Amino acid sequence: MHPGLAALDAAKLALARAAVADMDHGPRALQLALDVCLACGRCAEACHVSLADPTRRFLPARRAELLRAPFRHGRGPDAAALRLWMRDFYECSGCRRCAVYCPMGLDNAVLTRKARAVLHALGLTPCRISATQEASEIHGNNEGASEAAIRDIIRFLEGELREEHGAAIRIPLDEPAEVFFATASSEIMARPENLMGCAVFFHLAGIAWTLSSRGFDAANFGLFSGDDDHMRRKNRLLHEACLACGAKRLVIGECGHAYRVARFMGGHTSAPGLPYAVTDIFTVAASVLARGGLRLDKTRNPRPVTYHDPCNFARSGGVMEAPRQVLAACVADFREMTPNREANFCCGGGGGLAVLDTAEGTGRADTFYEFRMKVSGKMKIEQIRATGAALVAAPCFNCLRQIEQLADYHDLPVAVTTVFELFDRAARR
C-alpha cells in the first residue's frame, strides 16, 4: 500500500473535496473539459491505451467521469475513489491525442493532470515521481547529482570528444555565452553520448554556449505530478542561469516535456518581455544546416532509422519538421512511422509512466510495467515493427527508456538512440 493511503484522515478528504469544488474557478480549458463532453467515443478511437485494450476502464471519457462526477454532485472523492484515481489517472499518459480528434476540442489530459494534482496534495503521488521531485528540490536536478560530480563528468566527456574527433571540443560550464543550453539530467548522467553530440554541433556551428552547474537540468516532473509550484520553482533555475550568463537564447535539448514547460508553462521562462528567446536544439540545428557549411557524412549511419515524435515536442510543442531535417542530414535510410507528427501514438511511457514499475496502493497484482509493455506501449511497438527500422531516434529520455524496454519485452531487434548521437557519428572524420 502507498504510505499516503494509510495517512488519509477527515482533514485530507476535506482538502480533496475543496480542490474538486474549486475546479469551477479553474482555467477555461478545465471548465470546458468538465462541462461539454458529448460522450461520442472519438477520444477512445484516438487513445493508444483504449485502442490496445477496449476494456471500459481504459476509455478516456469513462476515466474523466471519475473527476466530473464528484464535481457535478458537489462531493469529493473518498478513500476508495482515491485508490482508483491512483490507478486510472496514471494509466493516462497525458499525451493529448484525444484533443486532436475530439469534435469539441476537449483535452482529457487537463483532467488527468488536475486529478494528479489532487493526489499530489494528499501525498499520493507514486513514489518514483515524488522522490524525483524531492531530489530536484534539494539538488536542483532530478538525478541528485552534486556540482562536483557534474564537473567531473564534463571533464571526462571532453576527453572522450578529443579522442573521438581529434579536436578540443569543449563543454563550457558557467561561462558568459549567447546560448544557455539545458537538457534532462538523465541525458547527462545516463546517456552522455547525447550531450557529446550536442557539444559537437555547437562546436561545428561556432555557437558560444554554456551549461550551468546549478540549472543544467530542464526535466520537470511537476508536469507529471500536477505540482505547479514545483514546476515554477524548477524553471526559475533555468531563468536565473540565463540571466547569469547573459544568454540571448535558452536552448532546450532532447527532452520534450522540458521544452513544453520552459516554452509554454514554466512561468519564469514563458513570461512576456524576457531578455532571451526560448527554443530547442532541433530548431537551432535545422537553421544552421539550412545555411550550409556543416559537413556531415550520412554513410556513417547506414542502418535504417525511424523517428518517434515525443508527444510534448510534437502535439504540445509544434516541433516536428526540424528533427526530421537534422536526421535527413545525418542518416542514409530514414523511414517514417505511420501515423506521425501531431497524430503520432504515445510511446506508452509519457506523463511520467516510464519511471513507474509498481502500481502502489491499488491492490492490483500486476504492475505499471506490465501495463506499459502490454497495453500503453502496444501501438508504438507495432508502429516501430512496421517500419523495419534497426534504430529508433527518440529525443526524450522517458520515451527512450520506454521504447528500449518495449523492444526487449517484445523481442524486437531494434536499438534506441537520440538524434544528436546520430549527428555526432555523421560528423566524425
Answer yes or no: do 206 and 93 share one domain: no
| E strands present in 334-406 | 334-335, 391-393
Which tens digit of pLDDT belongs to each residue from 4-55? 776 777 888 888 888 888 887 777 888 877 788 888 889 999 999 999 998 8
Positive or negative torsion for Cα 244, 249, 250, 251: negative
User: Is residue 361's pLDDT more than 70?
Assistant: no
Query: Looking at the structure, do residues 264 and 314 belong to the same domain, yes or no?
Result: no
* Domain boundaries, position 339: 298-427
What pLDDT shows up at residue 259? 96
Q: How confident is the model at residue 365 (pLDDT cuts 50, 70, 90)?
A: very low
Phi, psi of 170 (to 5 degrees): -90, 155
**Do residues 88 and 139 share a domain?**
no
pLDDT digits (tens, 9 = 90+) for 269-313: 888 899 999 999 999 999 999 999 798 999 999 999 999 999 999
State the Cα–Cα distance between residues 108 and 63, nearest whole angstrom.
Answer: 9
End-to-end CA distance of the chain: 55
- Residue 162, pLDDT above cutoff 70: yes
Instruction: Examine the domain organization and report whether 120 and 194 are in the same domain.
Output: no
Please report, rounded to a whole number, the percentage of residues in the chain having pLDDT higher than 90: 73
Domains: count for the chain:
3
Taking residues 65-69, report their average pLDDT. Answer: 87
pLDDT tens-digit map of 205-218: 999 999 999 889 99
Question: Do 322 and 251 fall into the same domain?
Answer: no
Angle at CA of residue 196, ends 337 and 178, nearest 5°: 100
Mean per-residue pLDDT of the chain: 92
> Does pLDDT of 121 surpass 60?
yes
pLDDT digits (tens, 9 = 90+) for 224-275: 999 999 999 999 999 999 999 999 999 999 999 999 999 999 888 888 899 9
Closest by CA to 258, choosing from 160, 330, 186, is 186
Residues in the chain: 429
Closest CA to 90 of 400, 331, 320, 371: 371
Q: Are 270 and 149 part of one and the same domain?
A: yes
pLDDT of residue 6: 67
In eight-state DSSP terms, residue 217 is B
Instruction: Give me the pLDDT at residue 364, please.
Output: 55
Q: How far does CA 219 lie from the centroid of its chain?
A: 8
Domain boundary among 76, 98, 124: 124
Residue-wise pLDDT for 85-102, tens only, equals: 999 999 999 999 999 998
Whether 165 and 233 map to the same domain: the answer is yes
The mean per-residue pLDDT over the stretch 136-162 comes to 93
Q: What is the mean pLDDT of the segment spanning 75-83?
A: 86
Q: Are residues 336 and 419 in the same domain?
A: yes
Alpha helices in 127-168 (DSSP H): 127-139, 147-165
- Domain boundary among the residues 86, 107, 124 is at 124
Instruction: For residues 343 and 400, state if they share a domain.
Output: yes
What CATH number has the domain bearing residue 100? 1.10.1060
Residue at a domain's end among 124, 152, 179: 124
Please tell me which residue, 3 or 278, carries the higher pLDDT value: 278
My answer on whether 137 and 261 are in the same domain is yes
Peptide bond into 272 cis (omega under 30): no
Residues 226 and 179 in one domain: yes
Residue 198 sits in the same domain as residue 257: yes
Q: What number of CA atoms fall less than 13 Å from residue 388's CA on the CB side?
A: 3
